[in-house]
Amino acid sequence: MAKTPPKVLTDTYEEVFTALAHPARRLILMTLNFEGGEMTAGDIAALFKHAWPTTTRHLQVLEAAGLIAHERQGRARLYRIDKKRLALARDWLGWFFKSPR
Chain residues binding DNA by CB under 7 A are 4, 6-7, 9, 18, 21-22, 24, 40-43, 45, 49-61, 70, 72, 74-77
Min dist CB 64 to DNA, Å, is: 9
**One-letter amino acid of 59:** L
Residue by residue, DSSP assigns 1-58 as -PPPPPP----HHHHHHHHHHSHHHHHHHHHHHHTTSEEEHHHHHTT-SS-HHHHHHH
Verify binding: residue 89, its own copies, rule CB under 8 A.
Answer: yes
- Positions that interact with its own copies (CB under 8 A): 11, 13-14, 17-18, 20-23, 26, 29, 33-34, 81, 83, 86-87, 89-90, 93-97, 99
